[in-house]
A and B are shown apart, each in its own frame.
With several copies, the nearest count.
Chain A
Amino acid sequence: MPEVTYSQALNMALREEMQRDERVFCLGEDIKDSTYGVTRGLYEEFGAKRVVGTPISEAAIGGAALGSAAVGMRPVAEFMYMTFMMCAMDQMVNQAAKMKYMFGGKAVLPIVYRTMAGAGRANAAQHTQDLASWFSHVPGMKVVMPTTAYDAKGLLKTAIRDDNPVVFVENKVLYATAKEDVPDTDYTVPFGKASVRREGKDVTIVGLQRMVETALEAADELAEAGIEAEVIDPRTLVPLDIETIANSVKKTHRVVVVHEAHERVGFGAEVIAQVVTHAFDYLDAPPARVANPNVPTPFSRTLEELSIPSAGQVVAAVRALVA
């Protein structure tokens, strides 16, 4: 089993799915000479009709994916940065996500809207924002956020085989840093099944993407102080595996949610609202959040670093609950 990076794993998933099903095709800007390597080599292997380079027209990309799905294709549309989806919100949300319902069920729309988000690369405010909470608010949409290379491949395959519009959020930093042995064989990772990355009895830490690593770091630190943290990666926001999270909280009686997105009306709020619904009587302390402090991501590395939740902040949040 070769050790591959997160971006190579995504590339494997695309190649395998395009080989498996000729209805699957990619479209997007500059995907022939893929900057982060996710679509690398696909143009050479599948040609200009399966790897469609588009003009800088995000609304058209969003709508073209939808229209092609409506006539039986299985498009995988790339938005270079998640913020660019702001130029395609009408096609993605007002059209694609609602179409099946508006049409009385008579539409099957297998669309993957791939994109990338995340802080840590000094891309500043317009190239960093994680908008997963917006899409999670939208009925008809599924939202996926893989953390590991293994999950990246398995979840992308599941997304491509899913018959609904799926927003697939990749993480810029993990592309290169997340590495592990990934089977070059066919496998999928199901939606709606969280992965428990560390077991513990004293507190539950729910993290998304890079924040899973941050949570694990915090857990090590807490362990030294005798606090055993359970770390959970939901992997998919919609559907959300609240059962695994709630059961963990019933055991630990405390929960902290950590994500890079802005705190206000971020996905952490939803996790907390669902946790209090499912495990209120088990809670010994108020569910807490560690997230971007409602600030656009600054360019300066020193400031950007300060805007990203740190292991130290997670430790502090946990200590405040355990104290």
Chain B
Amino acid sequence: MATLTPPASATTASSGIERHGLSDEALLDMYRTMLRIRRFEERVKELFLEARLYGSVHLYIGEEAVATGACTALRDGDVISSTHRGHGHCIAKGLELAPMMAELMGKATGYNHGKGGSMHIASLDHGMLGANGIVAAGIPISTGAALGFWVRGSEEVAVCFFGDGGANHGSFHEGINFAATLKLPAVFVCENNQYAQYHPVQQDLPIENVADRSVAYGIPGVIVDGSDVLAVYGAAKTAVDRARAGEGPTLIEAKTYRFEGHFLGDPEPYRTKEEVAQARASRDPLVRFGAILQQLGVATADRLQAIDAEVKDEVEAAVEFGEESPEPGAELLLTDIYTGADPDGRDAPRSRSETDA
């Protein structure tokens, strides 16, 4: 695994730091979260290449600052919807690595008992409404969560993560417009990582910024550097407070970059190795935030190394947990299809009791 000790350049890059009143502890938690995402994903990649893990897996490496910055602005009870590239959102929303890794391995101990895998990992208990195999489908769903809060008159906020490619889907338009007409407590975070599978963003987006589409809905549109976790936090906090105050949704576009292939196994014919190397060298959110923490005197390089060591151990423990966990038994095939009695007369006792729990 690459060491994350910041190069000199990164230090200068972060002059004039706005810490948004976040405590040292909060800042360190953010760093740890980003690192947990990075190390988790790096391990997932290794396991996949060793055929110890399978399925359609989309890594979040390079984009850690977006999920972390946005979720740091949330309270318990707030919810998020995610995408096919959802591991980072899960970790930032507080899911545990062990049941996550187990889910990616299709094990019974996974968050979804192995029935969902990477593209459907979810934990409603954590307010994580699910990764999603369908591009942009999370947008109407989070609009719906926000609608639920609005109808109920409660104070929660729904944050929706989606990609630049998703911004061209009808669900983007309908979901955001719906939320805007009712001023629902929703925040839409576009992760513009420069590519939609094999298409560079500019091929399918006839304008420069996804955020400019906020004009079509009469809501604020904000562009942030997606490799700067503090900038993302700042924009998200403003948007979340606004939503909670009943002032309606915000569209945030985080400019970021996908360091890995679209999915594990992607030959990446659509971009050069140099382009990727250049991005890794210049806009690694972890290197950047690590430098900031040192500059602020929040942590020394040694402390950051120590956190890294702890995180690696946590990830290893998750891998062990996953690998030692049992496969879901055949009896699980036909459970969880319905809540309550199954129309085909198949009972689902386990799932029902869990649901009630």
- Knowing A56-B169, A294-B344, say if A106 contacts B355 (CB, 8 Å): yes
CB neighbours of B355 from chain A (8 A): 105-108
| Interface stretch of the complex, out of B16-24, B90-98, B114-122, B229-237 | B114-122
Which residues of A have CB within 8 Å of B124? 70, 103, 106-107
Q: Cβ of A200 < 8 Å from any Cβ of B?
A: no
Assess the A300–B147 pair: CB atoms within 8 A: no
Q: Is the CB of A300 within 8 A of B107?
A: yes
A50, B339: Cα distance in complex, Å: 25
Partner of A30, one of B199, B205, B328: B199
Cβ-defined contact, A164 with B339, below 8 A: yes
Q: Kindly provide the distance from the CB of B27 to the nearest chain A CB, expressed in whole angstroms.
A: 30
In the assembled complex, B307 has its CB within 8 A of some CB on chain A: no
In the complex, whether A183 has a CB less than 8 A from a CB of chain B is: no
Stretch of B68-76, B175-183, B274-282, B289-297 that contacts chain A? B175-183
The tally of residues in B whose CB lies under 8 Å from a CB in A reads 90
Assess whether A71 is in contact with B343, with CB atoms less than 8 Å apart: no
Q: Does B33 contact A (CB under 8 A)?
A: no
Interface residues of B in 335-357 (CB under 8 A from A): 335-341, 343-344, 348, 350-352, 354-355
- The reply on B298 being an interface residue by CB < 8 A is no
Q: Are B54 and A298 in contact (CB under 8 A)?
A: no
Q: Which of A60, A124, A300 contacts B327 (CB 8 A)?
A: A300
Q: Across the two chains, which residue of chain B brings its CB closest to A72?
A: B148
Whether, in the assembled complex, A32 has its beta carbon less than 8 Å from a beta carbon of chain B, the answer is yes
B174 with A60: CB separation less than 8 A: yes
With A49-B151, A299-B55, A302-B106 as contacts: A67 and B158 at CB distance below 8 Å: yes
**Among residues 46 to 97 in chain A, which have CB atoms less than 8 Å away from a CB atom of chain B?**
49-50, 52-60, 62-73, 75, 83-84, 87, 90-91, 94-95
Is B190 an interface residue when CB atoms closer than 8 A count as contact? no
Give the Cβ gap from B202 to chain A, nearest Cβ, in Å. Answer: 11
Contact of B115 among A23, A60, A72, A102 (CB under 8 A): A102
Q: Does B168 contact A (CB under 8 A)?
A: yes
Complex Cα gap A139–B132 (Å): 18
Is A240 a contact of B343 with CB atoms below 8 Å?
A: yes
Q: Which residues in A have their C-beta under 8 angstroms from that of B118? A: 299
Q: How far is the CB of B154 from chain A (nearest CB, A)?
A: 9
Contact of B337 among A49, A59, A100, A303 (CB under 8 A): A100
Identify B137's interface contact among A65, A90, A106, CB under 8 A.
Answer: A90
A56 x B204 contact (CB < 8 A): yes
B116, A299: Cβ atoms closer than 8 Å:
yes
- The chain B residue sitting closest to A100, CB to CB, is B336
B174 touches A300 (CB 8 A): no
Contacts of A53 in B (CB 8 A): 199, 203
Cβ contact within 8 Å between A105 and B348:
yes
B193 at interface by CB-CB < 8 Å: no
CB-based contact B79/A71 at 8 Å: yes
A109: nearest residue on chain B (CB-CB)?
B339
Assembly CA distance A105 to B112 (angstroms): 7
Cβ contacts A to B, 26 pairs, < 8 Å:
A23-B152, A29-B197, A33-B198, A50-B151, A60-B177, A64-B178, A67-B143, A70-B129, A71-B156, A73-B151, A94-B133, A99-B130, A103-B122, A105-B336, A105-B354, A108-B355, A122-B55, A125-B133, A126-B120, A126-B132, A238-B343, A240-B343, A299-B114, A300-B107, A306-B333, A307-B333
A residues sitting closer than 8 Å to B (CB atoms) are 23, 25, 27, 29-30, 32-33, 49-50, 52-60, 62-73, 75, 83-84, 87, 90-91, 94-95, 99-109, 122-127, 139-140, 142, 162-164, 192, 238-240, 264, 293-296, 298-303, 306-307
Q: Give the 7 A-B residue pairs with the shortest CB-CB distance, closest first.
A: A67-B144, A63-B140, A105-B351, A299-B117, A126-B133, A300-B106, A105-B336
